[in-house]
Amino acid sequence: EVQLVESGGGLVKPGGSLRLSCAASGFTFSSYSMNWVRQAPGKGLEWVSSISSSSSYIYYADSVKGRFTISRDNAKNSLYLQMNSLRAEDTAVYYCAQSRTYGDYDYWGQGTLVTVSS
């Protein structure tokens, strides 16, 4: 059974940093592209970043480019999102999601809440 478990969320001040993790199990992690998608409270879904299986291809939404860094450790079956220079508008539940094929988010974690507030 595919399982994705996010962690690392919490309360951070504007301008601060946070590192999210996603622990994967139940599938061959190194064979799949992975993604971060976020959802602000009461709002819709927003794609944040994607990374290919071998980290060769990395993409970011314009809203986070230059501030967020996606990475993965295939030996540890883990996905990461380093978030710097956080803003109030980054407040959201952050989901990690697996891509079976390009553009599809087939399995999702339960999400971790990031709150940026002074």
Residues in the site for another protein, rule: CB under 8 A?
Answer: 35, 37, 44-47, 50, 59, 61-62, 95, 101-106, 108-111
Asked whether the beta carbons of 88 and 30 are under 8 A apart, the reply is no
What is the rounded CA–CA span in Å between residue 2 and residue 80? 18
Q: Which is nearer to another protein, 66 or 118 (CB)?
A: 66
Cβ 36 to another protein, closest distance in Å? 11
Cβ 56 to another protein, closest distance in Å? 14
The H or E element containing residue 90 is none
Cβ 79 to another protein, closest distance in Å? 15
Q: Which is nearer to another protein, 17 or 54 (CB)?
A: 54
Buried b or exposed e, range 5-20, using 16+ CB within 10 angstroms: ebebbeebeeeeebeb
- Amino acid letter, residue 86: L
Q: Which is nearer to another protein, 13 or 65 (CB)?
A: 65
- Amino acid letter, residue 63: S
